[in-house]
Every structure is written in C-alpha cells, then in structure tokens.
Structure 1
Amino acid sequence: MIVIVCIWIAGALLLWMFEHKGNPDEFGNVPKCFWNIAVYLFSGLDSGQPESLAGKITATIILVLSLGVVGVFTGTVASIFVEKRIGGKRFMPPKNIKDHIVICNWNEKGVSIVAELRAKALKIKRAIVIISSEIPEETLSELEEFKYVYLVKGDPTSEVVLNHANIRKCFSCIILSQKSAGEHADAQSILVALTIKQLCIESDCAKIHVVTEAVARKNFEHLRKAGCDEIISAGEFALRIISQSALTPGLSTVYTNLVTVSEETNEIYQLPVPPNYYGKTFEELGADILSKRLGKNPSILIGVKHKGKIVLNPRKEHFQTFAEDDKIFLISFSRPQLSFLTQK
C-alpha cells in the first residue's frame, strides 16, 4: 500500500512538471495529475495521455510498475479472504506441516478426541488439523486451550480442502460422522475416504492410516473398500462393554483405564519387534520384558500383529516366531523403551 501511494504521488508530480504547460487540459493542475495516475495504475491509459517525451517515459514507467505492484496488492487482499475462508490466521496450519493427525468432520465427540490426542501424559504430541465447516464458535474457544490445533474450514470431500490440511503428509486421519448428514453420515464418510485414497494414488505417496466412526454396521464393508483401516461404532462398542461388564464385574473400569491417556493409567502401545528377536517366540520376548518390570514404566506383552492379523495372547499353534515386519502390543504407563532388549 505504501509503495502504491509513493508511485501515485511521485508520478502525479512528475507529470505535472512535464505536461502542465504543453498539455494544460489534461495536466494543468495537480489534482488532475493525481486522477490520471490513479487511472494508469488500475486500468491503463484510459485517461489523459501525455504529449512530451519525458511525460510519455514517466507514464510508461508507471504502467510497468503498476503491473507488479497492483498484482501484489490484489494477491495480498485475496490471501486475507482465503485465510478467513479456511479458518482464520490463528487456526491456519503451516504449509509444511507433516506427521500430524487430520480430523475430518466434527460432532460432539470432537473436543474429547482432541483432548486425548493432546494429553499431557503423551510423550509424542502430534499437531492436529480439523477439516469442517460446522464447528460452532463456542467450540473454537475451547480448542484455543490446546497448542498446535489448526482448522481448515470446508468440505473434506474436496481435494482442494484436503490439500490445505496437507493430508498426504499426515500421520493418520480420523473421519467422524457428520451430524448434519443424518442417516447418510456413513455415505459422506465413504466419500471422504475415497477422496483421500485417490489423492494418495495420484501422488504415489504411502497409504494413510484412516480411522472412521461408523453409524451402522451394515456399512462397515463399504467403508473398508473405500480405504478405511479401522472402523468403530461407538454405540455398538458401548453395548459390548455393558454386556461384558455384567458378566465380569469391574471390566468397564479396565477398559476405561486402557483407553484413557494419563500418568496414572495404562495404555496399549504398538511397537516394532526388536531385530534380535526375529525368529524367537512370543514367550521368549514376553519373559524378557517381564524380567524388567521393576522400572518406573513396567510393561506387559499382550499381542502381536503378524501378516496383517492381530492376535492377543496367541496360542502356539496360531503363532510360532517373530518375523521382520511384525508388530507387538504392550500395556504400559507410557510408551515403552525396549532398548535394553537390543543390548543383550
């Protein structure tokens, strides 16, 4: 803006100096010169044209400068509107954001999910980018309590909106049921998952791990085909806990403990198998981990992911020895460090 004003003033004075005697009808006084320069800057030589050589050179220079300066000014104004459209400067994610968690859509569970993902007890706190056009203003004030939580306003089925969240570089993605979609919420989630899947294919990037909230069990298979890796129905999950707690008193407390992130509760962690345990059994690794339970962060081996299948407390006939791509699941107060196993 300052540059435009300087060009405007300098150009008007120069044209008045060169033209006011020979071309008084167009440049006879300074106000006329200011008007002509304003026209030059924004629409070209549609107003008075200089007659002297010096005046023509001045007008040409102003026209050339106007192409760049006005372009920058227009771009700046446009960027302000874009910022406002996709969430405002406070909530805009950095362009180079990566290894973050993207949350598509928003509902009443959103704030609690963000609170869990940004819990103080977590050693690795990932940035969060929320994509939605339906977040109430009062929710924004709640989200301001958390650091590194960003917002992109828009439809998560749009590739442009997903690119604003740098979806290709994220660690994982959560698709919540869109409340306004009603009984068609799962269909909207399928569209989001398909769009993410297509973006990964087009850019030849690694498959994004997608966790999806489902409304109806009948849609689970469609969601899997769309690229959803984990599908969770909150209502169905709650019913199973209720029925199991009736059979095993206290079980609801166990589940709550395992899914709550805090310094006083245990969580379940997934880790790669230590390389020196390739070819060894579940029992051997479990015994070595148990032998170190005297530390501040005792851990218990509970399961394995082998050839894409997760098995808890595996029987010998179902799992023999660890392979290179296997993962293990442990219960621990915080993320276990298994470096002591590789030092044997």
Structure 2
Amino acid sequence: MTPPSLAPSMQQRVDRALHSPTIEFMLIGLILASVLLVFIEVGLPFGSGGHGVVVGLQRWLTGAFWLELGLRGWAARNKQRFLKHYWWDILAVIPFPTQIVVLRLLRLLRLLRVGILLNRNLGRIYPALAIGLGAQIGLVAILGVLLLGGGLGIFLAEGGINDDIENLPQALWWSLFTLVAAEPIGAEPVTLVGRILTLMVMLGGLTLFAVITGLVSAVMVQRLRSTMEYRTMALDELRNHTVICGWNRNGRHIVEELLFDGGLQDSPILIIAEFEETPERSLRHLNLSHIYFHVADYTRIDVLKSINIAQSARAILLADTTRPRSDQDIDARTVLAALTIEKINPAIYTCAQLLDRRNDVQLKAAGVDDVIVADEVTSHMIATSARTQGSVEVMAELLTVQVGNQFYKVPILPSWVDLSFWQAVDRLKRSHDALLVAVELSYPNRHTLVNPPANYRLGPKDQLIVIARKRPELRDY
C-alpha cells in the first residue's frame, strides 16, 4: 500500500485518467461527432429549426472540449509544453459567433488530435501494427483537414455565387481534385476568400505530395536496412513507463525479462545513457515497438524531467559503461541519479546496480528500494551451487520469466488478515498451486521475512512473496 505522503496527487490522478484508453476513445468519438455536426450545420439553412438543434449540440460539445482542455491544462506539470502541444485544439474550440460559419470550420483541426490518439492507442493494442501505420494515420488526419476544410470553405465562400459550386458534394470533389493536382480543377474561384482557400489547398497538395514521397522513400530504405531503427516520440507523453538509466552488457537481458513479463509487456521502456551508438542492434530479436532510446546525461535534473520521470512507474539504474570511467565514478553517478529521481518522484520504484557495496548507504538513505551488487550475487550463486549441487538450476528458473516458475508479489485479501503463515501456505497451494515463501512487511520500514514461523500472523499491509507459474489473482469466494 502506498503511504499517504507518496499517494498520487489529484492532478496526477486527473492526468492519468485523461490519458486512459477509455477517455481517449470517448474523445475520439466526440471529435468525430463534432466534425459531422459541422457538415450538417453548413448544409442546413441558417435560422431553420434543424440548424438551431445542430448549433445547440455543438455548444454542448464545445463545453465538453473546454472541460477536457481545462483539466489537461490544470493537470499539466509544464504549462508551456501544454500550450505548445494543444494550441490548435484550443483554437479549434473557440466559440465563434454562429453567423461566421467559416471560422467554425476550425473545429476540423481537432482531426489532428484524432490521429495522435489513434496512434497512441494502436501502439497499446497492437504495437507491431502501430510501427507500420503510425505515419499513415497522421497523414490521413492531415489529408482530412485539408480536404474537408477546403471543400466546406469553398462552398460557404462561393456557393450560390459560382455556377460551378452548386452544392456541397461538388465543393468536396473540387477540394479533392485541387488537392491532388495542386491547381484548381472544376471551378475557378471568383471571391477573395475563395482564392485564398484555393491557394491554401494547392499549397497543402504540394506539401502533401512531398510528404508522401518522403514517406514512401523512408519505408523503402527501412526495408533494405539490416537492422531496425528505433522509434522516436515525444518523451513527455510517456506514462507508467520503465526508465533504464545507464547501459552495460546486462542491459539486454534486463530488457528481455521486462518484455516477457505478462504484466509489463505493454509498459514502455525508455533507455537513457550517453551512447555513442544506441544498442538496438543487440535488441533486434525483440519487439522494439515499446522501447525508446534517449542519448543524454541521466544525472541531470532537466534531462530526467524531459523524459517525464515524474510519471514513470519504475527506474533501473545500471552501472553505466557507455563511457570509460572508474568504478568509483560509475557508482557516484548511480547515487547522484538515484537521489535526483527520488526527489522528483518519491513514489517511484527504484532498483540500482552498484559495483561497490560500500556505496549502499547513500542509496538506502535516498529511498532506493533495492540495491544489487552484481559481483556479490554471482559469487553467492556459485557458492550455493557448490554447497548444494544442482541448486543453480532451481535459481535459474526462478530468476527468469521465460520458463517455468517465477517469483510474484501479491497483496493479501482483507479476509486473510490475522491468518497464520501456515494457513496462507495451505490456501495458496490449494487454490492457485502457488508456494508462499516469504512475507514483505511495510511498517515501520520495508523488510522481508523469508520462511517466517508457521504461527506468524499476517498483517493488513503485508505482501506475499510466492513461487508460481503465473501471477495468482487472489479473491474471496
């Protein structure tokens, strides 16, 4: 259970809710409904009964969009970054007078947000498909804004004036042909507004053709490359991600284990270090759709904020060997990064790798959850294998999620409070074929009791450490 001082604030809870798939798909639906209402509004006579109903619905949607953007702005940690990313959304929902319908076409700008939200959620549902379709979805969104904006705009500007623009379908066909040909096809504009719209659609067509050419070229080059190039994204959009600070030869195995874990396979992994060459070549056998690289010094507070460490779920600090440094300097950088991360996000789980056990004191004082000295662990495993011949196979199975049984930590049910350790062992084995081996206590300080006495009584905040083939889902029957 998270201590009250580390519980997420109201702003953090609102931010997480706004970035949840449910809310984002609802927002996509509302934006598409708003675009449809713009079509209907343009096609209905001004002042008619139907027109009034459509305007009323648009006002309700505008209120919903203002509420959404207001909550995003309030929850945003960096207000300038919020304005940078959402300025066109704000422009799109400004409540212009109903008489100036041309300005209300700015609502079409929110189709760009639809493209961004679809890309993000496609990456959650089907990462491999998201890699191939991400650019195409964004392209379709831009194309939709240009095509619909040009067609509706020319109809409002020249409908009833230009004999070649008699109805909305003709205007949309004109917009499509002008966009593709980069010159007015089917009708010559006769008004100033019409000429300005024509120029914008033509420039959009020229730009779009260049973008499509570049996209096709990039896809062809990428298919010919022997290794996959890592994806890039706005790092401040990452949520609930795992940050790996530093890199060494252990990094590849750590990433493998995280990706094979069923509970973490959809969680993004950000690897940050002062790379001379990012390690995607050594990770090419893995699905890279959830892996991001950032070349920077992870001991700097501005760098950690830029990768949204405040919204990260866990941080792993490796003994960094990307640059030639002494063991003492490597551990000093690990300690400095851990202190900074815990200061920015006290609720984060942190695990640090040290080369010298004597530096453990600073990490524990900083609030780091787990500290691992690689040489010690290796030495203990070798000595244990020598003492109990064959036990290394047991440890090897328990320490990987790729085969057999693994360790899992699960919270106890309220009805299990005050059960004896032996009763909990019996219940877990009978109901989930899981073996209870330890109990983690969180009060007054987090520590673990391995194989406690049979009559030990479970407390309300205890966590159970079990060995099982899959994570046990405890429930009252």
Q: Give deviations 1:248-268, integer Å, cap 9, x for gaps.
A: 011111111001112x31110
Counting only pairs closer than 5 Å after superposition, residues 221-240 of structure 1 correspond to structure 2 as: 221-240=361-380
Shift of 1:115: 0.9
Q: What SS does structure 2 have at the residue aligned with 1:95?
A: helix
Decide which structure has greater helix share. Answer: 2
1:305 aligned residue (436, 440, 450): 440
Shift of 1:164: 2.3
Q: Is the 8 A contact 2:421 2:453 kept in 1?
A: no
Q: What SS does structure 2 have at the residue aligned with 1:336?
A: coil
Q: What SS does structure 1 have at the residue aligned with 2:472?
A: coil
Larger relative contact order, structure 1 or 2 (CA cutoff 8 Å, min sep 6): 1
- Paired with 2:314 and 2:357, the residues of 1 have a C-alpha distance of 23
Shift of 1:274: 1.2
* Residue in structure 1 matched with residue 391 of structure 2 by the alignment: 251
1:191 aligned residue (336, 361, 371): 336
1:182 aligned residue (298, 301, 326): 326
Sort the Cα spacing of 1:302 and 1:134 in 2 relative to 1 into closer, same or farther, 3 A. same
1:131 correspondence with 2:272: yes
* Residue in structure 2 matched with residue 165 of structure 1 by the alignment: 307
Gapped runs of 5+ residues in structure 2? 1-228
- Name which of structure 1's ranges 243-252 and 143-152 shifts more when overlaid on structure 2: 143-152
Q: Is the 8 A contact 2:349 2:368 kept in 1?
A: yes
- Paired with 2:407 and 2:325, the residues of 1 have a C-alpha distance of 33
Q: Is the 8 A contact 2:351 2:368 kept in 1?
A: yes
Shift of 1:123: 4.1
- Paired with 1:268 and 1:254, the residues of 2 have a C-alpha distance of 12
Q: Is the 8 A contact 1:92 1:151 kept in 2?
A: no
- Paired with 1:182 and 1:92, the residues of 2 have a C-alpha distance of 33
Shift of 1:171: 1.4
Shift of 1:106: 1.0
Shift of 1:323: 1.8
Q: TM-score, normalised by structure 2?
A: 0.48
1:315 correspondence with 2:453: yes
RMSD over aligned Cα atoms: 1.9
Q: Which amino acid aligns with 1:303?
A: A
Shift of 1:151: 1.5
Q: Is the 8 A contact 1:265 1:333 kept in 2?
A: yes
Counting only pairs closer than 5 Å after superposition, residues 189-228 of structure 1 correspond to structure 2 as: 189-200=334-345, 206-228=346-368
* Residue in structure 2 matched with residue 242 of structure 1 by the alignment: 382
- Paired with 1:123 and 1:277, the residues of 2 have a C-alpha distance of 24
Shift of 1:142: 3.6
Q: TM-score, normalised by structure 1?
A: 0.66
Shift of 1:227: 2.9
The number of aligned residues is 240
Q: Is the 8 A contact 2:230 2:292 kept in 1?
A: no
Q: Is the 8 A contact 1:106 1:177 kept in 2?
A: yes
Shift of 1:92: 3.3
- Name which of structure 1's ranges 231-240 and 303-312 shifts more when overlaid on structure 2: 303-312
- Paired with 1:135 and 1:282, the residues of 2 have a C-alpha distance of 52
Q: Is the 8 A contact 1:123 1:334 kept in 2?
A: no
- Paired with 2:299 and 2:263, the residues of 1 have a C-alpha distance of 32
Sort the Cα spacing of 1:124 and 1:193 in 2 relative to 1 into closer, same or farther, 3 A. closer
- Paired with 2:268 and 2:464, the residues of 1 have a C-alpha distance of 25
- Paired with 2:247 and 2:377, the residues of 1 have a C-alpha distance of 20
- Paired with 2:355 and 2:301, the residues of 1 have a C-alpha distance of 24
Q: Is the 8 A contact 1:301 1:329 kept in 2?
A: yes
- Paired with 1:268 and 1:159, the residues of 2 have a C-alpha distance of 34
Shift of 1:94: 4.7
Shift of 1:93: 5.2
Q: Is the 8 A contact 1:93 1:150 kept in 2?
A: no
Q: Is the 8 A contact 1:107 1:178 kept in 2?
A: yes
Pair member with larger Rg: 1
Shift of 1:313: 1.1
- Paired with 1:303 and 1:115, the residues of 2 have a C-alpha distance of 26
- Paired with 1:89 and 1:150, the residues of 2 have a C-alpha distance of 7
* Residue in structure 2 matched with residue 324 of structure 1 by the alignment: 460
1:267 aligned residue (387, 390, 406): 406
Q: Give deviations 1:149-198, integer Å, cap 9, x for gaps.
A: 11122011112211222111111110001123322111110110111122
Counting only pairs closer than 5 Å after superposition, residues 110-129 of structure 1 correspond to structure 2 as: 110-119=251-260, 122-125=262-265, 126-129=267-270
Gapped runs of 5+ residues in structure 1? 1-87, 201-205
Shift of 1:135: 5.5
- Paired with 1:177 and 1:302, the residues of 2 have a C-alpha distance of 30
Sort the Cα spacing of 1:109 and 1:92 in 2 relative to 1 into closer, same or farther, 3 A. farther
Q: Which amino acid aligns with 1:182?
A: S
Q: Give deviations 1:286-309, integer Å, cap 9, x for gaps.
A: 11112235xxxx211111012322
Shift of 1:89: 8.0
